[in-house]
Structure 1
Amino acid sequence: MKLVILGGGGFRVPLVYGALLGDHAEGRVTEVVLHDLDAARLGAIARVLAEQADGVPDAPSVTATTDLDEALRGADFVFSAIRVGGLEGRAADERVALAEDVLGQETVGAGGIAYGLRTVPVAVDIARRVRELAPDAWVINFTNPAGLVTEAMSRHIGDRVIGICDSPVGLGRRVARVLGGNPDEAFIDYVGLNHLGWLRGLRIVGRDELPRLLADPELLGSFEEGRLFGTDWLRSLGAIPNEYLHYYYFNRETVRAYQEAEQTRGAFLRDQQGGFYAEMARAAAPALKTWDDTRAEREATYMAENREASGAGERAEQDLESGGYEKVALALMRAIARDERATLILNVRNGTTLSALDADAVIEVPCSVDANGAHPLSVSPLPGHATGLVCAVKAVEREVLAAAESGSLATAVKAFALHPLVDSVTVARRLAEGYRGVHPGLAYLR
């Protein structure tokens, strides 16, 4: 099978290739094509992949190109992990928002809206090119904001685009481990939007063990989300929120921590990864070791401002393991290509799963996956507070899609103004103008 990775010069690509190297079954990926607009970044990542493959029998071949059409022709799967505007764009998203005393995180609030406004037009163009050049291909979307971008692409290629995220998987694995279960065998009852969901149950050998966790304050406070949100709040909710809900539940504290930080997350990653790619320009640089050292630092500093705001302290060693989005991507490809049934938490069209949303709304929910794609499983209704938040944020996503399609600045302002973390229409107008001033890619808004 041929796998095309869009954003192939991106820092996390070796995670995907590493997962492929462990797959030796029939019907596996045998050809990987990296596509990126930056030839130097492509070359750097290709070097890392070459060292990963050294000594591995039957390693998938790797080629690189800056020609999108060339990359897509004949693709069986397309993995999309692009970053429109690069990490400099992410850092700018944070700066503009924080200057208005609102959150600038890349997928949540003002920053997420700005990122979506410049990414959706590019993602839509990719979907159209896939439909033309590789109509039988499946698109696995990891491009953020993942739910919003997946929904934009689904309007052109339907259910052949599936969004993935490692956040709910990581949450489920941590909870299963705390409860003494095997994370690979537990069923995670989780639902919401991307970066806006709740774990409402975790079944181990058919029994829901979440009530036992919520009843034990010591156990509840022993893992990342317990320290981040506090045990009292988790017991009040009766669920374990996705870590990104910390931006909603503790917004003032998080904004203050971001404003007081020496560097925002985007600025840190811009500088850190800039150092990695600069080092990789040296022919003698040990590619895999340089990448691995950079990755370890990246994981250790993840959501540092939130932990600072909550007093959660440094990340525990057992929490440094990622949710494994590359493993989710591999499991998804296996299930479709080999018709091997799997249950995975994915971003797919709602259908009739959540009655508060329409059928085309992309949600994040456990799905049964087979050769015909991903099928959302039935879930119990969300409580009122969660339904209200999901509906409000989905309405904002729809305004972002409308603005991207029409080029209407007024609609973009509406998207900012309606977001729960933006508290003023006046601020929304300044945000829209501020982002247009720093992002050439938003010049289409008028």
Structure 2
Amino acid sequence: MILALLGGGGFRVPLVFRTLLADRTDGRVTQVRLHDTDGVRLAAMEKILVAMAEAVPDAPRIMICSELADAVRGADFVFSAIRVGGTKGRAADERIARELGILGQETTGFGGISYALRGLPVALDIARTLADVNPEAWLINFTNPAGIVTEASREILGDRVIGICDSPIGLARRVLGSLETAGHVPAGTALDVGVGGGDVRLDYAGLNHLGWLQGLQVRGEDVLPRLLERPDLLESFEEGRLFGAEWLRTLGSIPNEYLHYYYFARETVEADGRSEATRGVFLEQQQDGFYRAADGVVPAEAALLWERTRQRREETYMASNREAAGVAERDEEDLEAGGYDRVALAIMHAIAHDRPAQLVLNVANRGTLEHLPEDAVIEVPCLVDAAGPRPLPVSPLPAHALGLVQTVKHVERTVIRAVTESRRDLAIEALALHPLVDGVGVARRAFDLSRAEFPELVALR
């Protein structure tokens, strides 16, 4: 198979390549094409991948493509993980949010909307290019905000675009890890969850970064009630410590970690305000230092530098949320990044070689969740085979979740319309209606500050 990686200079590219190197099955990826608009970052990633491939027989051949059309032409799968505006743009969003006293996280609320407004035009150009030069390819989207980008891209590519995220997988593995420790499920149950195999079935539903685990079947038995009746087990993994056992038992489900921004919005804003630098500023400084250092060393040293930088990046993930919840550090097992890379590989094998797999993906609703449009992109378990992904039955959203999901879905679709119709009023509507932006006045100020920061938004009139 041929895989094109868009955003090929991105920091997490080695995670994908590491998974490809470990795949020794028939029909594996034999060529990886890297495309990026930043030549310095692209050169650094090429250097690291070369070092990683040295000791692996028959490693995928690495190609650098300066033109988007050349990267995707003839590819079987296209993996998109671009960041329009880079980490500098994320830092700017967070600075604006801090000035206004709202959350600036890059995938939800103001930060997610600002990110989408400047990123969607590029994502849509990718979709149009793919439809023009390689309409038979499959686009695997990891570009954030993943739900919005996937839904917008579907207008051009239809079912041949699939959104992925590693959050639901990580959640299920951590829950199962706690249950394994307590002897409620067999050891090793968590290993293959979410990447296609095993005896585990997730009852998980919602939108990207806005979902709930309502059931967890192991060999036909729902083991989630065993977890919910044990406060000590609930607070033995990351989401349990973030939300607290009392709140999880009130909900009767385990929320995606990103729902902490909704359930504890005020506490997180306050913790963010106390931090010396926001997450975006930290990443901007860290990655700038990494790419400059990688430019001046040999491939093997660049690979070691990348691993050390990655470790520090994972240690500081969602630091403000942990501070707001009174949680000091992440567990050692949570520092192993990835998950989405294994999902991407499972998708490719399932489709290309008709190896059925059950995966949590962002796909069209098609009646899976009532009260949402048929064509709305949702995040649910799917069966994937040569025909592509099909949503599996899940429990209806609980009453406390339904209104929130409907509101955020309306916001997502309004953001897409704002970009495709070049309308400022729709961008402000999306901001004003989002639960994490408190009012029309704040929405207007936020948009005006974003438009002053990002020239791309001048097109919205």
| TM-score > 0.5 by shorter chain | yes
Query: Into which bin does the TM-score normalised by the smaller protein fall?
Result: over 0.9
Q: Deviations over 1:239-284 (max 9, x none)?
A: 0000000000000000111111111111111111111100011034
Q: Is the 8 A contact 1:350 1:363 kept in 2?
A: yes
Q: Please state if 1:329 is matched with 2:354.
A: no
Q: Which of 191, 198, 203 is matched with 2:205 structurally? A: 191
Q: Is the 8 A contact 2:15 2:338 kept in 1?
A: no
In structure 2, what is the Cα distance between the partners aligned to 1:250 and 1:202?
Answer: 25
Q: Is the 8 A contact 1:166 1:322 kept in 2?
A: no
Aligned to 1:237: 251
Q: Please state if 1:155 is matched with 2:155.
A: yes
* Letter of the structure 1 residue corresponding to residue 6 of structure 2: L
How do 1:102-113 residues align onto structure 2 when only pairs under 5 Å count?
A: 102-113=102-113
In structure 2, what is the Cα distance between the partners aligned to 1:271 and 1:426?
Answer: 32
* Letter of the structure 2 residue corresponding to residue 177 of structure 1: G
In structure 1, what is the Cα distance between the partners aligned to 2:350 and 2:220?
Answer: 23
Q: What is the CA distance between 1:319 and its match in structure 2? A: 2.2
Q: Please state if 1:22 is matched with 2:22.
A: yes
In structure 2, what is the Cα distance between the partners aligned to 1:158 and 1:118?
Answer: 22
Aligned to 1:387: 402
Normalized against structure 2, the TM-score is what?
Answer: 0.96
Q: Deviations over 1:208-264 (max 9, x none)?
A: 110010000111111101110000000000000000000000000001111111111
Q: Which of 226, 232, 247 is matched with 1:218 structurally? A: 232
* Letter of the structure 2 residue corresponding to residue 158 of structure 1: G
Aligned to 1:302: 317
User: SS at 1:327's partner residue?
Assistant: helix
* Letter of the structure 2 residue corresponding to residue 418 of structure 1: L
Q: Please state if 1:279 is matched with 2:293.
A: yes
Q: Deviations over 1:286-309 (max 9, x none)?
A: 011000000000111100000000
Q: Which deviates the most, 176-185 or 209-218? A: 176-185
Q: Runs of 5+ in structure 1 lacking a partner? A: none
Q: Is the 8 A contact 2:2 2:76 kept in 1?
A: yes
Q: Which of 374, 377, 393 is matched with 1:359 structurally? A: 374
Aligned to 2:62: 62
Aligned to 1:133: 133
How do 1:3-82 residues align onto structure 2 when only pairs under 5 Å count?
A: 3-82=3-82
In structure 1, what is the Cα distance between the partners aligned to 2:273 and 2:430?
Answer: 23
Q: What is the CA distance between 1:157 and its match in structure 2? A: 0.4
* Letter of the structure 2 residue corresponding to residue 96 of structure 1: I
Q: Deviations over 1:145-166 (max 9, x none)?
A: 0010000001100010000001
Q: Please state if 1:407 is matched with 2:422.
A: yes
In structure 1, what is the Cα distance between the partners aligned to 2:409 and 2:310?
Answer: 32
Q: Is the 8 A contact 1:171 1:323 kept in 2?
A: no
Q: Deviations over 1:352-387 (max 9, x none)?
A: 101111111000000000011110001121111101
* Letter of the structure 2 residue corresponding to residue 295 of structure 1: R
In structure 2, what is the Cα distance between the partners aligned to 1:114 and 1:235?
Answer: 34
* Letter of the structure 1 residue corresponding to residue 221 of structure 2: R
Q: Deviations over 1:380-405 (max 9, x none)?
A: 21111101110000000011001001
Q: Is the 8 A contact 1:4 1:79 kept in 2?
A: yes
Normalized against structure 1, the TM-score is what?
Answer: 0.99
Q: Is the 8 A contact 2:203 2:395 kept in 1?
A: no
Q: Which deviates the most, 321-330 or 409-418? A: 321-330
Q: Deviations over 1:60-114 (max 9, x none)?
A: 0001122111111111100000000000000011111121111110001000000
Q: Deviations over 1:42-69 (max 9, x none)?
A: 1100010001101201100001122111
Aligned to 1:422: 437
Q: Runs of 5+ in structure 2 lacking a partner? A: 193-197
In structure 1, what is the Cα distance between the partners aligned to 2:27 and 2:338?
Answer: 25
Aligned to 2:195: none
* Letter of the structure 1 residue corresponding to residue 438 of structure 2: D
Q: Please state if 1:85 is matched with 2:51.
A: no
In structure 1, what is the Cα distance between the partners aligned to 2:426 and 2:248?
Answer: 36
Taking a change above 3 Å as real, the CA distance of residues 323 and 191 of structure 1, as seen in their structure-2 partners, is farther
* Letter of the structure 2 residue corresponding to residue 380 of structure 1: S
In structure 1, what is the Cα distance between the partners aligned to 2:116 and 2:396?
Answer: 28
In structure 1, what is the Cα distance between the partners aligned to 2:375 and 2:121?
Answer: 19
Q: Deviations over 1:10-50 (max 9, x none)?
A: 00000001100111222111110000001111110001000
* Letter of the structure 1 residue corresponding to residue 315 of structure 2: A
User: SS at 2:144's partner residue?
Assistant: coil
Q: What is the CA distance between 1:323 and its match in structure 2? A: 5.3
Q: Deviations over 1:165-192 (max 9, x none)?
A: 0111000000011111411232221100
User: SS at 2:203's partner residue?
Assistant: strand
Q: Is the 8 A contact 1:169 1:323 kept in 2?
A: no
Aligned to 1:143: 143
Q: Which of 366, 370, 394 is matched with 2:385 structurally? A: 370
* Letter of the structure 2 residue corresponding to residue 222 of structure 1: S
In structure 1, what is the Cα distance between the partners aligned to 2:335 and 2:460?
Answer: 40
In structure 2, what is the Cα distance between the partners aligned to 1:122 and 1:59?
Answer: 31
In structure 2, what is the Cα distance between the partners aligned to 1:187 and 1:300?
Answer: 29
Aligned to 1:100: 100
How do 1:200-219 residues align onto structure 2 when only pairs under 5 Å count?
A: 200-219=214-233
In structure 2, what is the Cα distance between the partners aligned to 1:231 and 1:312?
Answer: 13
In structure 2, what is the Cα distance between the partners aligned to 1:107 and 1:259?
Answer: 19
Q: What is the CA distance between 1:322 and its match in structure 2? A: 3.4
* Letter of the structure 1 residue corresponding to residue 16 of structure 2: V
Q: Please state if 1:435 is matched with 2:450.
A: yes
In structure 1, what is the Cα distance between the partners aligned to 2:330 and 2:203?
Answer: 25
Q: Deviations over 1:109-164 (max 9, x none)?
A: 00000001111111111101000111110000000000100000011000100000
Q: After TM superposition, what 4+ stretches of structure 1 lie above 4 angstroms from structure 2? A: none
Q: % of aligned pairs identical?
A: 60
In structure 1, what is the Cα distance between the partners aligned to 2:438 and 2:290?
Answer: 38
